[in-house]
Chains A and B, each alone.
Chain A
Amino acid sequence: MQLCDLPYGQAAVVESVREQGPTDNIAIRLRDLGFVAGEPVRVVARGPIGADPLLIQIGFTRFALRRNEAARVLVKPAA
């Protein structure tokens, strides 16, 4: 499941970050910021227009990601 489709508040775990194109700096940066396999994530807020951007809790940090940035992150919802 892509992170941008994860329901609001649902706990999940990162599986991987998928590159879009050959040198995807955004994907590299996402990994540096902690979007790596096994890391717990959650959508904690959504922007007022079109639910974009998304506010993601990862580790102890909150990052605002636009939907197409969040689409790179594949997650697995926790049971």
Chain B
Amino acid sequence: MNMSASPQNTARRVALVGNPNCGKTALFNLLTGSHQKVANYAGVTVERKEGRCLLPSQRALQVLDLPGAYSLAATSLDEAITRDVCLGKVAGEAKPDLIICVVDATNLRLHLRFVLELRQLGLPMILALNMGDAAARRGIRIDVPQLQRALDMPVVETIAVRRNGADTLLAALDGLLPPEPQALPADADLHARVRQILADCVAIPRRTAVIDDALDRWALHPVWGLVILATVMFFMFQAVFSWAAPVMDLIKSLVESLGQAVFTLLPEGLLRSLLIEGVIAGAGSVLVFLPQILFLFLFILVLEESGYLPRAAFLLDRLMVGAGLTGRSFIPLLSGFACAIPGIMATRTIQDERDRLVTILVTPLMTCSARLPVYALLIGAFIPAQPVLGLFNLQGLVLFALYVAGVASALLVAWVMKYLRRERVEHALLLELPSYRLPNPRDIAIGLWERASIFLRRVGTIILSLTVLLWFLSSFPAPPPGALQPAIDYSLAGRIGHALQYVFAPLGFNWQICIALVPGLAAREVAVSALATVYALSATSEDAAAQLVPLITAQWSVATALSLLAWYVFAPQCLSTLAVIRRETNSWKTMAAATVYLFALAYAASFITYQIASRLL
């Protein structure tokens, strides 16, 4: 790196290092507030978080939040990044001037071992004794001056969840760098040393928190634990699907009135069409999902911060392992019911690379909310609303079956992938269940802001450019004068649809369906309004479905409708999902594999459905 004299380079660089669940990120948030930059380390999908803060002397401090690690003997990509940054081995990443070791004062037996191991790095170190408030509540007393001598580094107390909880740390960082602590001999028994330090410096009345024991008795109970989990999930779904709806309607109407305004302001022509049908409709189709995604991430963040998420993984691990996944796959898959994109983004909590990849590949099979309009249209048109067994409704049962088909196929695909790999390497769970904590609003807010901006930035740009492209395909070439068919029929999209009919005829798709599949690539629910366009209905998307029903019931066979339903269970018909797979795995190959396998499954399922249904019905 070049050493120019800009203030950027003269700022002291410190790195936060610590075990997972030591409150490191909360401390980082307290230090840097909103002055954070979140990106990835070059070439990998490990998140790199950097921020700046001002020291009491008004000097700038550059803070790097390294991924949590248990040991320098890394077993995951996250841990390898932490080790390599500390060793100055990451390209383009200067070695930190000082390491702040963050430890949870209630979990010193585990955390101090890592601190002792870090002494071999030969970097100046400060120990941040975090969560002192929780330790005090549990009657844990720590002799700080004694601990300082034993560890050979300055020790400061921090309370990351309190407003001025890092003041002593900031004051310590403002002074001269402390000397590097003496490295321990390579063969030193770190565990024995930690035991000795604990015996000398710390008084602990009880090894566990009473509240954790009490809560875990219920939360991890073989029966009640599952009941509690189901209840939590029910509320999450309720929030995502019901509470978000009014906000989504509001956004939808705002986008529509913006379109109306542009409609009246601009003369008829290409520019107006591009703005309304391409840009505004495209951006709108992204924005409308934002409330759902925020609710989803709010729940995930609260569950994560409170310590419940690893408990859910514990309860479901056995089930998921049977299918070739891991307990940690649960939340991404669950998020996939709202939208595959946040689901795939949530796989970052899975440390094991293979488990993460499999989870990413099967998340699109969860029935996302964008499929619902399509399901609703087809079920409403073709499935009679007759009662079944006096209790259920056939329409409801079909919808439920479609959801089950999605989940079952995800488990099956994961199982097949496990079988095909036939690898003997054991993938460990080794999951820490941290103490329960009350989530801190600041950390939740920062987390939500991060997720929302990633979603808008990445997905927004992709969907926007795709909808503009699809607008182009559906608008050009323009129909000849005196054309009788709807305009889309003459366009490139129309021609593609007609050509696709050769491919899709064995599935029972007519050319109208094939055309609708093309703009439906941007987002699945767009297929409904595209069908309306093909059938020359000039209607808004709301009443399009109502007007479409009699038309398609008259023109399609039931077998075609069932086949299209089967298609939608699998089809990778959402380019933004594919784009996010590419981003999150950093691999075009994985994206291609996902596309091919989903298409193959969709084609096979539709083919079988159509062939059987057209013979039976």
Contacts and interface: CB of A to CB of B under 8 A. Distances in A.
Contacts of B113: 32, 34
Contacts of B432: 61-64
Given A49-B319, A60-B207, A66-B428, A55 B433 contact: yes
B430 A32 contact: no
A23 B208 CA distance: 33
Interface string B93-131: 000000000000011111001000000000000000000
Interface of A: 20, 25-26, 28-30, 32-34, 36, 39, 44-50, 52-53, 55, 57, 59-66, 68-69
A20 B204 CA distance: 35
B104 to A, nearest CB: 9
B484 interface: no
B222 interface: yes
Nearest to B106: A60
Nearest to B209: A60
B318 A49 contact: yes
B317 interface: yes
A9 to B, nearest CB: 11
Interface stretch (B67-75, B151-159, B267-275, B382-390): B67-75
Given A32-B113, A53-B318, A63-B433, 5 more contacts: A28-B73, A32-B73, A55-B314, A63-B430, A66-B317
B225 interface: yes
9 contacts: A39-B191, A53-B318, A53-B431, A55-B216, A59-B109, A59-B110, A60-B208, A64-B313, A64-B429
A66 B321 contact: yes
A17 to B, nearest CB: 12
Contacts of B496: none
B191 A34 contact: yes
B552 interface: no
A45 B222 CA distance: 9
Given A29-B428, A66-B321, A34 B75 contact: no
Contacts of A33: 70, 110, 430
Contacts of B315: 47-48
Contacts of B71: 29, 32
A36 to B, nearest CB: 5
Interface in B413-465: 426, 428-433
A53 B428 contact: no
Given A25-B75, A29-B70, A48-B223, A68 B109 contact: no
A6 to B, nearest CB: 17
B70 A53 contact: no
A77 B432 CA distance: 23
B436 to A, nearest CB: 11
A48 B70 contact: no
Contacts of A69: 428-430
Interface residues of B, number: 38
Contact of A48 (B110, B191, B225): B225
Interface of B: 70-71, 73, 75, 106-110, 113, 191, 204, 207-208, 212-213, 216, 220, 222-223, 225-226, 310, 313-315, 317-319, 321, 327, 426, 428-433
Contact of A29 (B75, B220, B222, B310): B75
A49 B226 CA distance: 11
B101 to A, nearest CB: 16
Given A44-B216, A66-B428, A61 B318 contact: no
A55 B318 contact: no
B330 to A, nearest CB: 13
Contacts of B75: 25, 29
Contacts of B208: 57, 60, 62
A61 B310 CA distance: 13
A63 B318 CA distance: 15
B518 to A, nearest CB: 45
A48 B213 CA distance: 18
B314 A60 contact: no
Contacts of B110: 33-34, 59-61
Contacts of A28: 73
Nearest to B310: A64
B73 to A, nearest CB: 6
Nearest to A47: B318
B325 to A, nearest CB: 13
Nearest to A35: B191
B202 to A, nearest CB: 10
Contact of A64 (B70, B109, B431): B431
Given A36-B191, A60-B107, A69-B428, A48 B433 contact: no
A71 B204 CA distance: 30
Contacts of A52: 317-318
A43 B212 CA distance: 15
A60 B318 contact: no
Contacts of A68: 426
Contacts of A60: 106-110, 204, 207-208
Contacts of A62: 208, 212, 216, 432-433
Specify which of A25, A33, A39, A62 lies most central, judged by the most chain B CB atoms within 10 Å of its CB: A62
Nearest to A52: B318
Contacts of B313: 64
A19 to B, nearest CB: 12
Nearest to A30: B430
A63 B109 contact: no
Contacts of A45: 216, 220, 314
A46 B222 CA distance: 8
Contact of A26 (B327, B428, B431): B428
Contacts of B212: 62
A45 B314 CA distance: 10
A8 B173 CA distance: 47
A26 B430 contact: yes
Nearest to B322: A49
B426 A26 contact: yes
